[in-house]
Amino acid sequence: MSDNTDLQAFEFLQSIEKRSFESASMSPREEDLSRLWTGVGFRMAGNDYIVRLNEVAEIISIPPYTKVPGAKSWVRGLANIRGTLLPIMDLHGFLGRKAPPALRRQRLLVVNHNDIHCGVVVDEVLGLNHYEDEEWVQDVPLHDEVMQPYLKGGFYSGEKLWSVFSLKALAETPSFRQVAL
Note the pLDDT tens digit of each residue in 91-120: 999 999 987 787 789 999 999 998 899 999
Residues 97 and 77 in one domain: yes
Q: Is pLDDT above 70 for 129?
A: yes
Cα(first)–Cα(last) distance of the chain, in Å? 78
The structural domain count of the chain equals 2
Residues 30 and 68 in one domain: no
Residues 112 and 170 in one domain: yes
Range of the domain at 87: 37-177
Residues 45 and 22 in one domain: no
Q: Is pLDDT above 70 for 1?
A: no
Residues 139 and 123 in one domain: yes
> 91 or 23: which carries more pLDDT confidence?
91
In this prediction, residue 26 carries a pLDDT of: 52
Residues 75 and 30 in one domain: no
In this prediction, residue 24 carries a pLDDT of: 62
Residues 28 and 43 in one domain: no
Residues 18 and 101 in one domain: no
State the DSSP string of the chain.
--HHHHHHHHHHHHHHHHHHHHHHHHSPPHHHHHTSEEEEEEEETTEEEEEEGGG-SEEEEPPP-B--TTB-TTEEEEEEETTEEEEEEEHHHHTT-PPPPP-TT-EEEEEEETTEEEEEEESEEEEEEEE-GGGEES----S-GGGGGGEEEEEEETTEEEEEE-HHHHHH-HHHH--B-
Residues 67 and 137 in one domain: yes
Residues 75 and 157 in one domain: yes
> 13 or 116: which carries more pLDDT confidence?
116
Residues 125 and 154 in one domain: yes
- Across 24-33, 75-84, 89-98, 107-116, least confident range: 24-33
